Amino acid sequence: MNPTLWVWSMGAASEYWRSRKGFILAAIGSAIGLGNIWRFSWLTYRNGGGAFIIPYFIALIVVGVPLIILEFVLGNYFKGSSPKVFRKIREQFEVVGWIAIIDVFVIGLYYAVVLAWVLAYVGFSLTVAWGTVEGVGDLFNSLLGNPLLVGVTLAITWFITWLTVYKGIASGIERASLFAIPILWILSVALVIRGLTLPGSVEGINWYLTPNWAKLAEGKVWVDAFGQILFTLSVMAAPLVVYASYMPEKSELPNSAWITAFANCGFSFFFGFATWGIIGYLMQLQNVASPEQLGVPLGGGGLAFVTIPTAVTLLPGAPVSTMVFGTIFFVILWLAGYTSLISIVEPVYASFRDKFGVDRKTGVTVITLLSFILGLLFVFQPGLIDPVDFMAGSTNLIWVVFLEAVIAGYYFSLKKLRDYVNPYAELRLGPWFDVLIRYVAPIALVAILSYGLVTAGQMSPISAVVLIAIILASVVLAGMKWRGEEK
């Protein structure tokens, strides 16, 4: 039988998106997350401002877009999660799919804990709980030392995520995305307008975007650009593969990938104006000449939990404006992270469905419960988040995506995939696609991985344990008998 018909006839993916718009918004929801808000604009500033846009854009075109396209096409062609996709290419590659899935599961454990902090801060903003600027740091430290409160907001976060994924593709994930993503944009527009209209904002934007071309000679800048692209686009043989498996055959895929990529990167760039407008305002208030002299963190959790509360406390029109803009900021952050967390649970469930025939309700319930319980580790030990993220949320993405490109490029026919999508594509895939997947992306990924490992030196024992645990779990899962619908 023709392989397309044969895949179609097995009917494993019985769920579908209601619309292409729903699919694209869900993919954008996966992509836009904490990474866009607190990582992008800071990386840009640190790595040469406007000049950073160049390595970032190159990473987007050379690795980001081709891999989203590849993940969409593989998921749609093989109708399933990555263990199934890789198993169909070669039985022994199934383990690579599991590594991606277990890795994403681990990301979900600490990602949810950060969202739990964010949710607590939605409450803190509503009541301006930090009081004065002096109280900001104390409040964050007391939150980190309050496992009971974080445990409760973690439970709420997981409950809402569970409910969404439990309801399935169209009634759960699609609905949530159609609701959350437009709200996210509207609130972000409000925050950017507020940021840009503050006195001193232009000075902040200058720090954000003034190009420092000399930086482009530093390898670290390129590593940051490629690492950020993989993380921000959720390219990890997990969410995007399964999301595309719920599109019917003969769907448009390549242009959907371009739209996802540009919506995500455009959001990051746009949101940077809010962040840096606000930082410029702080600089003017405190009369300092450079952002470092502010003494507040410019990126990461510090930006969200220290700098933003500090800035909104000093807004004209406080305390009402503090409440309004503080709440808007943390609602944006939570919604962005929530649609990403959904996209972490779904592929984990889909993999167990494919391999063991687990039904959605049982699978999703067990996965979210287990994630909540294991995540408590990070509630009690927030210091573990960084070393675990270094492995699961950064290093592993690079080599797993490398294997993905090599497996698809050398052990399967990219021409077959192109012929499969091109009749329905708004932007057709030419042989350039094969060149990117077979040569350019793998070479770029190996280069940044080796450079990153040589220079970063962040390989702590905890990171090593995480790596070994993920590989062991994947080998065990891959070795178990395939009980789901066979091929």
**Residues in contact with ligand TRP by the rule CB under 6 A:** 30-31, 33-36, 104, 107, 231-232, 234, 236, 238-239, 340, 343-344, 397
Q: How far is the CB of 293 from ligand TRP (least distance, A)?
A: 29
Structure-token match 């995480």, residue found: 466
Judged by DSSP in three states, 479 sits in: helix
Q: DSSP letter at 233?
A: T
Q: From the CB of 419, what's the least distance to ligand TRP, in Å?
A: 29
Nearer to ligand TRP, 24 or 238 (CB): 238
**Residue nearest ligand TRP by beta-carbon distance:** 33
Residue 260 corresponds to which amino acid?
A: T
d(CA 394, CA 385): 12
How far apart CA 343 and CA 358 sit, in angstroms, is: 18
Nearer to ligand TRP, 102 or 407 (CB): 102
For ligand TRP, give the closer residue by CB, 107 or 364.
107
Minimum CB distance to ligand TRP, residue 135 (Å) = 28
Nearer to ligand TRP, 306 or 397 (CB): 397
Least distance in Å: CB of 56 to ligand TRP?
14
Contacts of 107 (CB under 8 A, 6+ apart): 344, 389, 392, 393
In whole angstroms, how close is the CB of 11 to ligand TRP at the nearest point? 27
Q: Exposure pattern of 237-254 as b/e (b: 16+ CB <10 Å)? A: bbbbbbbbbbbeeebbbb
Nearest approach in angstroms of CB 13 to ligand TRP is: 20
Using the minimum distance from each CB to ligand TRP, give the nearer residue, 198 or 241: 241
Q: Which is nearer to ligand TRP, 33 or 442 (CB)?
A: 33
State the CB neighbour count (10 A cutoff) for residue 60. 23
Please state, in angstroms and as integers, the Cα–Cα distance from residue 85 to each residue in 6, 177, 275, 302, 354, following that order.
14, 25, 40, 39, 10
C-alpha span between 281 and 315 (Å, rounded): 9
Nearer to ligand TRP, 232 or 307 (CB): 232
Tokens of 318: 């406080």
Spell out where 226-375 has E strands: none
Indicate the burial class of 480 (C-beta count within 10 angstroms; 0-12, 13-18, 19 or more).
exposed
Q: Prior bond to 319 cis, omega within 30?
A: yes
Q: Report the nearest approach of ligand TRP to the CB of residue 423 (Å).
A: 30
Nearest distance in Å: CB 110, ligand TRP: 11
Q: For ligand TRP, give the closer residue by CB, 128 or 391.
A: 391
